[in-house]
């Protein structure tokens, strides 16, 4: 009987195992909390970094939008300036032509005939006036027909208003005569 152990060794072993279990359980919980904390920190840092990048992109997008609107405004201004320059060039190019047209009209006027109205609209020229006789109107028509600057003169009306007074209206097409260099080629 000397070999019988009456001490509660099973309960001590159970308590030792329970303590070890709780220590391991506490370590696992602590390790899990540290892992969760690190994961939360990692993802919150990543979100914060992405928010910073997004804000930077938004700011740069606003700057680029402002530059784009400025470029569009400059293009519109440029187009308006080009249109004005083309208009001025057209006017400058046509200035000698209209002077030449009025010179040709003045050269075509015979004696005892004068104009009351001369209208130039595009390439159409309308002339109204008073002549001493129908022969003067005929001479005017022949002069316009011989001119290099007019073609197809048409007499729209002739009205006798009294002794030696005839009102007339002529319409014709203005052309630019070919220069000698253009005619030869």
CA distances from residue 102 to 47, 98, 122 in whole angstroms, order as listed: 81, 6, 14
- The pLDDT, as a whole number, for residue 179 is 60
Examine residue 84 and state whether it is found in any structural domain, yes or no: no
Examine residue 102 and state whether it is found in any structural domain, yes or no: yes
- The pLDDT, as a whole number, for residue 183 is 46
- Name the helix (H) or strand (E) containing 6: none
What is the reported pTM?
0.47
- The pLDDT, as a whole number, for residue 174 is 84
Examine residue 162 and state whether it is found in any structural domain, yes or no: yes
Examine residue 141 and state whether it is found in any structural domain, yes or no: yes
Low-confidence stretches of the chain (pLDDT < 50) are 180-185
Work out how many domains the chain is built from and give that number.
1
Examine residue 28 and state whether it is found in any structural domain, yes or no: no
Provide DSSP, 106-156. Answer: HHH--TTEEEEEEEEETTEEEEEEEESSHHHHHHHHHHHHH-SSEEEEEEE
Domain span at 154: 90-184
CATH number for the domain spanning 118: value is: 3.30.1360.100
Examine residue 76 and state whether it is found in any structural domain, yes or no: no
Examine residue 36 and state whether it is found in any structural domain, yes or no: no
- The pLDDT, as a whole number, for residue 8 is 78
| 8 A C-beta contact, residue 133 and residue 124 | no
Examine residue 32 and state whether it is found in any structural domain, yes or no: no
């Amino acid at each position: 009987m000397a070999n019988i152990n009456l001490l509660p060794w099973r309960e001590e072993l159970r308590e030792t195992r329970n303590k070890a279990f709780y220590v391991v359980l506490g370590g696992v919980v602590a390790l899990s909390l540290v892992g969760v904390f690190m994961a939360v920190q990692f993802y919150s840092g990543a979100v914060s970094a992405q928010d910073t990048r997004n804000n930077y992109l938004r700011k740069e997008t606003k700057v680029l939008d402002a530059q784009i609107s400025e470029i569009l405004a400059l293009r519109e201004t440029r187009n308006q300036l080009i249109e004005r320059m083309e208009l001025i060039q057209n006017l400058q190019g046509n200035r000698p032509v209209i002077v030449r047209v009025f010179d040709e009209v003045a050269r075509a006027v015979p004696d005892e005939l004068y104009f009351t109205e001369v209208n130039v609209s595009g390439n159409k020229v309308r002339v109204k006036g008073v002549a001493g006789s129908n022969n003067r109107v005929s001479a005017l028509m022949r002069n316009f027909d011989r001119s290099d600057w007019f073609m197809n003169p048409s007499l729209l009306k002739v009205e006798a208003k009294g002794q030696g007074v005839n009102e007339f209206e002529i319409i014709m097409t203005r052309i630019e005569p070919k220069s000698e260099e253009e005619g030869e080629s």
